[in-house]
Amino acid sequence: MSKLRLGINIDHVATLRNARGGAHPCPVRAALLAMEAGADGITAHLREDRRHIRDSDIARLRTEVPLPLNLEMAMTEEMLRIALKTKPHAVCLVPEKRQELTTEGGLDAVRLEKELRPVVAKLQDAGIRVSLFIDPDTAQVEVASRIGARAVELHTGAYAEQVSGDRCRLSEHHLSPATCHLTSAAKLASQLGLEVHAGHGLTYDNVGPIAAIPEIVELNIGHFLIGEAVFTGLREAVQRMRALMDKVRA
């Protein structure tokens, strides 16, 4: 199996910084450290309310960090303007509700097909790879393919919740219905020519079965690793996740 790319989501470094309103801890420093520790890309979500990542972070991540930047954003005029100006390597279109704590559920590409099509085209015409953050559902994958997105990111939140008992055994993860949905959605997406990514709620304990799905080429992981960094440091947290993913792919 090919190597699995690891994108580190540094949003919650900014959450911590913003709690005191100063400049520390700096998300750009975290991104550089993650790169040294083996990350293949940096992911950041510029939310409409700027609760963590800010516009200036995106500009600095783009110019100061020599790794592909994956900008997560809602499908709004403002975000489209920012993406076309900043030109990140990739954009992941996500649903966004102001009150939610984190991205709850995938983008409803089936309902939004008409609105998504021109946004995907504008971004991709500008040389930006677009992925749609969707639930692992056949109809959603088919729409992503139909509107010409280059990639899908399969939402692993339901999987993570289903297997969240402490340190479940690997075999139990493999049998969970959520794992089956992810496996078949990944297979279909790949058959349709889409690049397959996955993310949300992934931890040391639950990453194995996701890394074992051969069609998946990229994982984006944030909250757990930033939390672990409090205890072990970011370098060790990223290295350990990298090693777990590499072991499955070896």
Cite the active site residues. 45, 72, 200
- Minimum distance from residue 201 beta carbon to ligand PXP (Å): 5
* The dihedral formed by the CA atoms of 162, 106, 109 and 126, expressed in degrees to the nearest 10: -130
Give the x-and-dash track for 132-151 against ligand PXP (CB under 6 A). Answer: -x------------------
- Chosen residue from 86, 103, 145, 179 binding ligand PXP by CB under 6 A: 103
Which segment (21-29, 33-41, 165-173, 216-224) binds ligand PXP by CB under 6 A? 216-224
User: Looking at beta carbons only, is 57 or 153 nearer to ligand PXP?
Assistant: 153
Number of residues that bind ligand PXP (CB under 6 A): 19
Residues whose CB falls within 8 Å of the CB of residue 157, separated by 6 or more in sequence, listed in order: 104, 105, 200, 201
202 is a contact residue toward ligand PXP (CB under 6 A): yes
Structure tokens at 247: 């072991």
Residue 89's nearest CA partner among 65, 70, 66 is: 70
Q: Judged by CB, which is closer to ligand PXP: 19, or 250? A: 19
Regarding 14 and contact with ligand PXP (CB under 6 A), the answer is no
Residues 26-85 that bind ligand PXP (CB under 6 A): 45, 72
Question: What DSSP designation does 21 have?
Answer: T
> What is the nearest approach in angstroms of ligand PXP to the Cβ of residue 160?
8
Nearer to ligand PXP, 14 or 32 (CB): 14
Residue from 17, 47, 52, 200 in contact with ligand PXP (CB under 6 A): 200
* Phi, psi (rounded to 5 degrees) for 18: -70, -20
114 CB-side CA count, 13 A: 1
- Applying CB under 6 A, which part among 46-54, 172-180, 214-222, 240-248 lies near ligand PXP? 214-222
Q: From residue 166 to residue 185, what is the string marking binding to ligand PXP with x (rule CB under 6 A)? A: --------------------
The residue ranges that bind ligand PXP (CB under 6 A) are: 9, 11, 45, 72, 92, 94, 102-103, 133, 153, 199-202, 220-224
